[in-house]
Structure 1
Amino acid sequence: MTDLAVPVDDLAPAVITEALRAGGHPVTVTGVEATAIGTGQMAGSYRLALDFDGDPGEVPPTLVAKLAVGPMDKRTSVAGAYRTEVDFYRDLAPTLAVRVPRCWHASVSEDATDFLLLLDDLAPAEQGDQLAGCDVVDAEAAAVNLAGLHGPRWCDPTLADGTLAIVTADEASVLTEVLEPMTSVFTDRFAGRLRAEDQEVLERVPAVAGSWLVGRGERFAPVHGDYRLDNLMFAPDHGPVTALDWQTVSLGLPARDLAFLLATGLSIEDRRAHEDDLVAAYHRALLGHGVTGYDLDACRDDYRYAMLQAPLIIVLGCAVGTPSERGDRMFLAMAERSCAAIRDLDPFALL
């Protein structure tokens, strides 16, 4: 994590008071103790212990603040992601059934280089561990929660009127151009640690990535884009799953999120043994959210097609992320698991 000193002015009692009052909570915050949490590279997250003058009503004594940090050039480069996350919490999340932290305040500056989210503190829930993976019970809970993102606005034409973007053919072409050199950087970086059969899979992806991204456009919904264990909070004793980090929301084939979750989060053995049941659980949850005209066979076929989501995100994420020992181990584990899934399911045959 880079040096993210607590931005005292941004988290002063007067600022938090104004933010909460803007959301209809008539409180006066007299004290804020901020503790940095998480390892975010695009934004800073802080647990806020709040003191109030008088009865705070329903406002809890601790909240989590997420805000822009770092030099302005870096913030400018990711301003679109800041705006996307604020728009998600402010406008889109209330129309969905996916479990996310309650949002007490969401605002973004006109140029989107500053933003502030005040969210529920989810403790004692714990962040998932992408490197360690998860068990089948937690994977099912995460998949069912994912259906709450996709189902309520499944193929909703009014989504095109909002801020969510769907990948165009021109954008897909640009991705194809940059993905090949990025893949070479990835395979060179992990030379000697990346299995030959996994490298072969990764090197096949750039040639088809553009057509894959724009394929199956007749089915769309909001997609998280990075729905993996590190972006999920798990309640104790296999309790509910809550999804975080909504900077990458877009419109796309819903199964991309499901394929990414299962291909990268489960061990190869667990995925092979349980993925049919997990896809079926996700599909049942979709039907429960009102999706019609989409049978289980079609869902399984989309899941197979969507497997190429994993190498795309792994290669791109590795290229833009700050190198670390844990990060390297994580990317290798994700590559190994997802390349095995691609060999098993052969999404290339569907292109």
Structure 2
Amino acid sequence: MSGAGEFRPVVEDPAEVTPAWMTTALRGGGEALSVSALAYEQIGTGQTGACYRFHLQGEGAGPRTVILKTAAGTLEQRARVRRGYRAEVYFYQALADTARIRTPRCWHAAMTDDAQAFTLVLEDASPATPGAQERGCSSGQAAEALRNLVGLHAPFWNSAILDEGPSWLATDAARAAMLAQIHATATDRFIARFEQQLDAAETNVLRRVAEVVPRWLLDPQGPRSLLHGDYRLDNLLFPTAADGPVMAVDWQTLDIGLPGRDLAYFIVTALDTEQRRASEAALVQTYHDQLRASGVRDYGLDACRDDYRRGMLQAPFITVIGCALATGERSESADRMFLSMARRAIHAIKDLEVLQLFSAGA
């Protein structure tokens, strides 16, 4: 346990966090609070990390509750997702100040050299609550989430900053081949896991997606920006007031690529099929209008619509990999979430004939 005379930047057990540890972490992020006592409880059911709300007592200005986020799962499970740990820590350490997307303030971000353990001390956004994939959201909430997404994309739009980051952040041919293999294996596991719920047509779409993913990952068309990678309802905090500001969390899928991937992934997984069909044109327009208002001028609406379509494979890609690599225990609620996301993606891919864009000879 950390005492007053030492400070280990990475803790793996919330019980290791003492008032002295928390005081040092907060002061490193610019707070003057001297913590004299604390208590915590676990919150959420993250698949690759664990979150705890800490209640703080002390003297001086500063937050009275914070969120501590750590790694979760066995060492073997952590090894499979350590790029995600590295990405989230890197976002808060190096990129969050440039981004204009609303995300929790971070006072402390650290990880071990092998990237299998990390610790974040983040702003507690309560009473805001996360969205729910299976339930979906209103069109107004979706529009606000997309306006917030532009706060990530616009500052990094075709920016040289993207080339100055660590080499592991970009997807080169070697990484694309590795991801394609992971996705192919994950697809087989996903289909086996849900063989009683998926019909033959749905299974066929998922297998065809796996066939074209290698080409899709290296598709050179369109602009580049920083991507959240998993911009979906469960990773968004919504305020109690309807259609108010949204805050994005969970940066473990940080990537560089076509902004339409985040755009399509959110719309397709957040809305049920009929709602998506009725509102997707207006939502893409909302996203494009916000891009223009944020200074992205050389990008037409038709190009945005095309990139929305090209980016749609992000939905099955992340869904099946996320299901296969999840470190949390399998549950009925998680199964319903993954299945709802996959089905919504399958319908959208068929509606917009997305697979034809990446088939042989296209």
TM-score (norm 2): 0.90
The Cα shift of 1:73 comes to: 4.3
Cα deviation code 1:135-180 (max 9, x no counterpart) = 1111111111111110111010222111362211222223333433
**In the alignment, which of 153, 157, 162 is matched to residue 159 of structure 1?**
162
Among 127, 130, 144, the residue aligned to 2:130: 127
Structure 1 stretch displaced more, 164-173 or 65-74? 65-74
Quick check: 1:180 aligned with 2:187?
no
Once the 2 structures are TM-superposed, how far is the Cα of residue 248 of structure 1 from its aligned partner?
1.1
- The superposition leaves residues 72-113 of structure 1 with CA deviations (integer Å, 9 ceiling, x where unpaired) of 444444333222111101210110111101112222233333
Q: Quick check: 2:14–2:52 contact (8 Å CA) kept in 1? A: no
Letter in 1 for 2:353: D
Work out whether 1:110 is the aligned partner of 2:113: yes
In 1, Cα distance between the equivalents of 2:356 and 2:270? 24
Cross-structure match for 2:32: 26
Q: How does 1:6-17 map to 2 (within 5 A)?
A: 7-9=14-16, 11-17=17-23
Task: Name the structure 2 match of 1:315.
Answer: 320
336-345 vs 112-121, which deviates more? Answer: 112-121
Does the 8 Å contact 2:85/2:118 carry over to 1?
A: yes
Between the aligned partners of 2:14 and 2:55, the Cα distance in structure 1 is: 15
Q: Give secondary structure in 2 for the equivalent of 1:31.
A: strand
Q: Give the conservation status (yes or no) of the 8 Å contact 2:57–2:64.
A: yes
**What SS does structure 2 have at the residue aligned with 1:20?**
helix
What is the aligned partner in structure 1 of residue 293 from structure 2? 288
One-letter amino acid of the counterpart of residue 133, structure 1? G
Answer yes or no: is the 8 Å Cα contact 2:28–2:107 preserved in 1. Answer: no
Instruction: Name the structure 1 match of 2:258.
Output: 253
Q: What is the letter of the counterpart of residue 230 of structure 1?
A: D
Q: Take 1:23 and 1:181, find their aligned partners in 2: how far apart are those partners?
A: 41
Of residues 47, 50, 53 in structure 2, which corresponds to 1:44? 50
Number of paired residues? 343
Offset, 1:65: 1.1
Question: 2:107, 2:122 within 8 Å by CA — same for their partners in 1?
Answer: yes
Are 1:339 and 2:346 an aligned pair?
A: yes
Offset, 1:223: 0.5
Structure 1 CA distance, aligned partners of 2:339 and 2:330?
13
Q: Which residue of 1 aligns with 2:9?
A: none
Query: Deviation string for 1:214-265 (max 9, x for gaps)?
Result: 1035511110111111111111122111111001101011110111111111
Tell me if structure 1 keeps the 8 A contact 2:128–2:237: yes
SS state of the match for residue 253, structure 2?
Answer: coil
Among candidates 83, 86, 93, match of residue 83 of structure 1: 86
- 1:162-311 alignment to 2 at 5 Å? 162-163=165-166, 165-216=169-220, 218-236=222-240, 237-311=242-316
Which residue identity does 1:247 align to in structure 2?
Q
Q: Give, as a single letter, the amino acid of the residue that structure 2 aligns with 1:292.
A: R
Q: 1:70 to 1:274 in 2, by over 3 A?
A: closer
One-letter amino acid of the structure 1 residue matched with residue 125 of structure 2: L
Cα distance in structure 1, aligned partners of 2:64 and 2:180: 48
- Per the alignment, in what secondary structure is the counterpart of residue 21 of structure 2? helix
**Which amino acid counterpart does residue 347 of structure 1 have in structure 2?**
V
1:63 lines up with 2:81 in the alignment:
no
CA drift of 1:69 comes to 4.4
| Unmatched 5+ stretches in structure 1 | none
Confirm or deny: 8 A CA contact 1:6 1:34 kept in the other structure: no
- Root-mean-square deviation (Å): 1.8
Distance 2:258 2:274 in 1: 26
1:328 to 332, 335, 339: 335
Letter in 1 for 2:207: E
Runs of 4+ in 1 over 6 A off after TM superposition: none
The answer to whether the 8 A contact 2:268-2:345 is kept is yes
TM-score, normalization: structure 1? 0.93
1:33–1:49 contact (8 Å) kept in structure 2: yes
Q: Does structure 2 retain, via aligned residues, the 8 Å contact 1:16–1:29?
A: yes
Corresponding residue number in structure 2 for 1:144: 147
Aligned to 2:8: none
Classify the secondary structure of the residue corresponding to 2:107: strand
Residues 81 and 325, structure 2, Cα contact 8 Å, conserved in 1: no
Letter in 2 for 1:42: T
**Comparing 266-275 with 71-80, which one deviates more in the overlay?**
71-80
Cα pair 2:29 2:106 within 8 Å, conserved:
no
Cα separation, 2, equivalents of 1:240 and 1:197: 39
**1:217·1:252 contact (CA, 8 Å) conserved in 2?**
no
